[in-house]
Amino acid sequence: MGSDARRGRLVELLGPVVAAEGFDLEDVTVTPAGRRRLVRVVVDRDGGVSLDDVADVSQSVSKRLDEEDVLGGSAYVLEVTSPGVDRPLTEPRHWRRARGRLVQAELSDGASAEGRVTEADETGVELDGARRIAYADLVRGRVQVEFNRRDAGLDDELDEGLDVDEDIDDADDEG
């Protein structure tokens, strides 16, 4: 089975498993890693992906891969991860999840636009609260890395409810 056919089969096989866990399957790749293969499954959802989420999805995906012989009996290493900052923004859900982030957008007419995503819905994205761009006019976008961001208000709103100290204390209590 060729790599494109194998990838298609894995997407078909794992898409429902990942969806049942409440995530979107963003990508599946299989690469040689010595005598084994590395199966990399990229998942995402609104609100992000925690380590516990990755563990849950990993168990479900591993079980499904073991039930099906899609890898031809070859040994594999499974890596379940969330998309990195370098993931291209190509779907409405990607733009929605980039709310509050500075992005560089490549437009279908060859121009580009840069701005902070202030809104994204099923028809388009709004940059800096002023410029609306329809998805039909977008090729793709990329989140820009900001090391010294001064306007963290939207990030604070997105991270609302996250109590890092509480999470650390809970982890210490378990061990």
Mapping DSSP to helix (H, G, I), strand (E, B) and coil, where does residue 87 land? coil
Every domain of the chain and the residues it spans:
3-81, 92-158
CATH architecture for the domain at 92-158: Roll (2.30)
Say which CATH topology domain 3-81 has.
GMP Synthetase; Chain A, domain 3 (3.30.300)
Give 29's Cβ-side CA count (13 Å radius): 9
What residues pair up with 140 in beta bridges, in sequence order? 106
Rounded CA gap, 102 and 80, in Å? Answer: 26
- Chain centroid to CA 149: how far? 22
Rounded CA gap, 9 and 5, in Å? Answer: 6
Q: What is the pTM of this model?
A: 0.68
pLDDT tens-digit series, residues 63-115: 999 898 787 778 899 999 998 888 899 999 999 999 999 999 999 999 999 99
